[in-house]
Structure 1
């Protein structure tokens, strides 16, 4: 089957010429990996390695996705086609080409599109959908993945990534496209008039909204210096613009400000990894900076480094989220601006610390599955009912949303609020690390970490499924010397607690396992929706930071032993 599909691609008259040589030089292993399956939508849309093949991101698989999406739009009538689709893209290889090809494919179906003139952040694409009252959106990005990747994310009319019941309607139509190579994106001259180029108007409207999130816009800013890097990506212009207009003192890592698809001047564009901070740390030491802010290529995630006792400490997404929650909620309360029924959203793999801070300020916490689209869905629900009022949303994976005029993670918003918090606390003689440690002393000591088992290719995907199947069937009673007091299986929708089994409700089925331990810790396991990885999340509670760290190492070893 693999060779049959491979030969079809290699000799097809519509094959894009750029793929011919790559296909001709593929090894048997490369052929199998490129053609053994069809690339699918995951937690963040369709994402994968660039190159020819049904299991790759290329012009033909993008066209297949667009054909399915176009049919989905057409099924909603002429008004949906007229409202159209906003399209954005980042700095990666082929992002511009995929975005323009998407607009052309939609045009052949009579669908209007609004395409950014140049690269823009993912949150601004979400904003553009809402700004133009579009029926939906497309963002071409692989987020924080390595340079070999690209991706394609779909948005609904509220600027939120498609949730499962909507994505399934698109996927059904995509899968019905039998031959992606037969598709052409060749609109007529009249159809090309449906493609509109957008830019400054949306930028200005977005900047105005971002600047509007400030809680203390007049705060003294002269004593705080920021090192900022966009990691060669889309945050470069918007974050600089917002900081300049708000009056913050920042130094950009110039070597990483060019929109380079090869990420030439950084070991990794992922703020979850220490390599993303290497050059920024050099700048910080030279400039004696207070904080370092690192954005991923599509500017939905923000990483933070803080100067504390002369050294720079990198915060996890859980830790920076906790600091933002404390600052925002304390200021809302002090200014009597906390709404009557405030609610915060995070995910089932996000630390317990944030929820404890929210409890302190009388804010309810609701958990969702991993993927910010589920938070966006919750925002829309309460926007309609006004039963509760949104005050914050975040994930452990370094993404947050301060105010929901965007319906995705928004690093420019996070950068602005984090800078404000740094100024506020420095005036009190505190660093952001001091704030975090005060929270630990008040609410409990936590160490949150994540480990990934990377297993590429068909065999790797099968091995990941085997690991989860074995764990699902094995009723663990103990992990690392601590009793398992509760087990949640989000795929089979069941909970086991105190020897009793009952239904897990309130979540879409998802391949996630979560173990709660007697000492107040938990461990969660899930396959990545966008990379060939099995992810292990640890939220470990201790009597001190040192104790939490030692217990984390013990639990990680216990899991490693289980999956050997």
Structure 2
């Protein structure tokens, strides 16, 4: 009997199998069976994420219980105080999210570990905040972020409200992997143990709102703008609308997308990186002559922005909106004599060079991290202790940023508020946010940043992704689209190759990422997604103007496609 058949038969005949999965298992095709059982779902750059359904390679009540029991065992090894401090738990609008969240709380209680669970859905940054607010040992967030409706996921946080960095995640994974039978775990705690579960409500929200309001740099700016806002059926609806009401901005909600619908019925996609996320918001914007379109992904850690520019709406990339945030924040800190000593900004190795140049213009150092906001959170925690540098901003190219680190994850409500303020501020000068971006290009050079994600599902897809990376390692490109590769970085082997020499690549955890620097100041990076069955290609292409940068980008994408067979 194959491993897949063995696992399948175990699930089908196990007495503790959740009854809802029986019919699904019975009607699985061989292909579906293989995909559901060929491996066990694993932690990636943003925790554990996968398709909902029965199987060891799926998100379901049994695989979540296995992860939570492993986490509980890890907490207990940290002592009685860790158990008393407990775990904050949040969840989004997805299928099973609330059920899984409260099941986690019960299972922790069965292990005599306290928990603090939100009474209804909340954004991921608010879960990070709740960990800190309640002085918890850690946190759990049930969410699949921006993934399609078929997915759900599980994120773990440390006592700083930061997603677990590799060393801590590895310790938890060791405990999880030691559990042989996920189906044998139940969450049946006693009534006395049930008292360890505290349901959180409005008090935590109000303190979070107070902190968000504190990020304003020009709170008295004339708020002569109209904002169309969509939570994409997710968790941002109430918090963001409350924050805009408190600050006096005119916010026009996309009503059809304000219901917490797990099927995302009124949006083609909940992912701000994809054009479909803006379709209905664009219609609202045109009808209301809005200045700004703001959208959030379902768990409100990422956001997207559209700007009315010369009568048309322009959707910015995460690199572009991040650069505009940096320009506004830094310029105002300098103007108001509030720039701290030894200021530092954090972004990732696949984030555009433009933001770094903007920061440098204001004397702000940039430190780069691997992809995953936990690495930025780790940097924040480090300097919180050493005081060597002072945080100014942190962001990723994938629409995630953090203005102030009272949260230790991407925080869309903060980003939306600072972008609204920037929009209002620059409008008084006769400019919009695209005008600001164009000025940055004039000062620092024109860049076109893009990402191509090759989706390769299942066991064969996983093998193909690994082959793409291994083939590139075996024979690195010497040029891309006719432009010489002058340096390459391999974050897996932790080596830099430049001018025929090999040097160590220091300051990063090992990660399956390759980056190629070109002679004209451009670069290309390749990495497998940590949360989806995708191989991602990142492009930061420098041109003499927008047309030149776009042409070079198309050529680089074509060259990489031919090189990798992608």
Partners of 2:276 and 2:137 lie apart in 1 by 39
1:395-454 superposed Cα distances (whole Å, 9 cap, x missing partner): 000000000000000000001000000000000000100000000011000000000110
Partners of 2:467 and 2:349 lie apart in 1 by 22
Stretches of structure 2 lacking an aligned partner (at least 5 in a row): none
Matched, 1:56 2:93: no
Which residue of structure 1 aligns with residue 241 of structure 2? Answer: 240
Which residue of structure 2 aligns with residue 301 of structure 1? Answer: 302
1:218-265 superposed Cα distances (whole Å, 9 cap, x missing partner): 1100x2100000000000000000000000011000000000000000
Which residue of structure 1 aligns with residue 516 of structure 2? Answer: 515
Which residue of structure 2 aligns with residue 161 of structure 1? Answer: 163
Partners of 1:19 and 1:180 lie apart in 2 by 14
1:365-384 superposed Cα distances (whole Å, 9 cap, x missing partner): 00000000000000000000
Stretches of structure 1 lacking an aligned partner (at least 5 in a row): none
Which residue of structure 2 aligns with residue 335 of structure 1? Answer: 336
Secondary structure, counterpart of 1:74 in structure 2? helix
Matched residue count: 563
Which residue of structure 1 aligns with residue 180 of structure 2? Answer: 178
Which residue of structure 1 aligns with residue 109 of structure 2? Answer: 107
Partners of 1:95 and 1:534 lie apart in 2 by 27
Please give the residue correspondences for 1:430-469 in structure 2 after superposition, counting only pairs within 5 Å: 430-469=431-470
Please give the residue correspondences for 1:57-76 in structure 2 after superposition, counting only pairs within 5 Å: 57-76=59-78
Question: How much does 1:563 deviate?
Answer: 1.3
Of 313-322 and 473-482, the range deviating more from structure 2: 473-482
1:178-220 superposed Cα distances (whole Å, 9 cap, x missing partner): 0000001100111100000001010000000001110000110
Question: How much does 1:530 deviate?
Answer: 0.3
Partners of 1:30 and 1:302 lie apart in 2 by 34
Which residue of structure 2 aligns with residue 138 of structure 1? Answer: 140
Question: How much does 1:138 deviate?
Answer: 0.2
Partners of 1:206 and 1:22 lie apart in 2 by 42
Matched, 1:358 2:359: yes
Please give the residue correspondences for 1:123-522 in structure 2 after superposition, counting only pairs within 5 Å: 123-221=125-223, 223-522=224-523
1:327-358 superposed Cα distances (whole Å, 9 cap, x missing partner): 00000000000001100000000000000000
Secondary structure, counterpart of 1:201 in structure 2? helix
Partners of 1:172 and 1:503 lie apart in 2 by 29
Which residue of structure 2 aligns with residue 122 of structure 1? Answer: 124
Question: How much does 1:11 deviate?
Answer: 1.0
Question: How much does 1:20 deviate?
Answer: 0.6
How much is the aligned-residue C-alpha RMSD, in angstroms? 0.4
Partners of 2:148 and 2:141 lie apart in 1 by 17
Aligned residue among 95, 98, 115 for 2:97: 95
1:93-151 superposed Cα distances (whole Å, 9 cap, x missing partner): 00001101100111111000000000000000000000000000000000000000000
Question: How much does 1:475 deviate?
Answer: 2.5
Which residue of structure 2 aligns with residue 539 of structure 1? Answer: 540
Partners of 2:474 and 2:399 lie apart in 1 by 32
Secondary structure, counterpart of 1:154 in structure 2? strand
User: Could you tell me the TM-score, scaled by structure 1's length?
Assistant: 1.00
Q: Give runs of ≥4 in structure 1 deviating > 2 Å.
A: none
Partners of 2:468 and 2:375 lie apart in 1 by 26
Which residue of structure 1 aligns with residue 43 of structure 2? Answer: 41
Partners of 1:213 and 1:357 lie apart in 2 by 20
Question: How much does 1:4 deviate?
Answer: 1.1
Partners of 1:475 and 1:336 lie apart in 2 by 48
Secondary structure, counterpart of 1:483 in structure 2? strand
User: Could you tell me the TM-score, scaled by structure 2's length?
Assistant: 0.99
1:60-107 superposed Cα distances (whole Å, 9 cap, x missing partner): 000000010000000000000000000000000000011011001111
Partners of 2:498 and 2:144 lie apart in 1 by 39
Question: How much does 1:502 deviate?
Answer: 1.0
